Amino acid sequence: MGRRILFLGPPGAGKGTQAALLASALGVPHISTGDMLRSAVAQGTDLGRKAEAIMTAGDLVPDDLVVAMVAERLGEADAVCGYLLDGFPRNVAQAVALDREVGADGIEFALSIEVAADELVRRLLSRATELGRSDDNEETIRRRLEVYQSETEPLFDHYPDHGVEVVTVGGTGTIDDVFTRVVLLLAGRGRDE
Ligand code: AMP
């Protein structure tokens, strides 16, 4: 069994970038619910049609849809040897559902990338110009940060209360700077098994 790590942290903190780098370094799949949902929207699947307007508004796609999508993904062969989850769970209900899904194997720990709020907005606005994501306009960005505070931040209490440590890494500096911190943190922790 390889490593099973959750990436937490607000939108714009760089968790997608860091999760992708770390997943390839560890040789485990990077499972990003945001990427999976964007691809469902692009392909016009049933799920994509249900998710599109919600994502554009910056709200959370209903738990049952996202939990089913993740459960299916974790059942694929490549996830048997570990995974990095990025963008899931996004609230306590999803964390409880994940716990049921992974059972006794559990997850090792959650890693949060921290960046100050004004820097997050600046980064998200510049990403909007670069990538043209429909949920990177100013109003949606504000909404996504609110949703993060109200829905996702409670996980910083929920996980420690349930025996899962949340470790934080500073997200300022270059991608390489942050990745160095992530790798050092991982090296220091070793494997919990
Ligand atoms: P992300 O790329 O992780 O920032 O996600 C982009 C958007 O996809 C979010 O603003 C939500 O609308 C949706 N989304 C991603 N992950 C989840 C999740 N775990 N639960 C609900 N909605 C999600």
The confidence score (pLDDT) of residue 44 equals 97
pLDDT tens for each residue of 10-54? 998 999 999 999 999 999 999 999 999 999 999 999 999 999 999
The confidence score (pLDDT) of residue 187 equals 87
Catalytic residue IDs:
15, 90, 127, 133, 144
Residue 58 CB less than 6 A away from ligand 1: yes
Ligand 1 centroid distance, CA of 50 (Å): 13
- The domain spans of the chain are 4-186
Q: Is the pLDDT of residue 1 over 60?
A: no
For the whole model, what pTM was predicted?
0.93
Mean pLDDT score, 139-151: 93
Ligand 1 centroid distance, CA of 61 (Å): 7
Mean pLDDT of the residues in the chain: 92
* CA–CA dist 121, 5 (Å, integer): 26
Residue 55 CB less than 6 A away from ligand 1: yes
Q: Determine the Cα angle at 168 with ends 134 and 51, to 5°.
A: 25
Q: Is the pLDDT of residue 192 over 60?
A: no
The confidence score (pLDDT) of residue 135 equals 80
Q: Is the pLDDT of residue 104 over 60?
A: no
* CA–CA dist 12, 14 (Å, integer): 5
Please provide the CATH number assigned to the domain covering 4-186.
Answer: 3.40.50.300
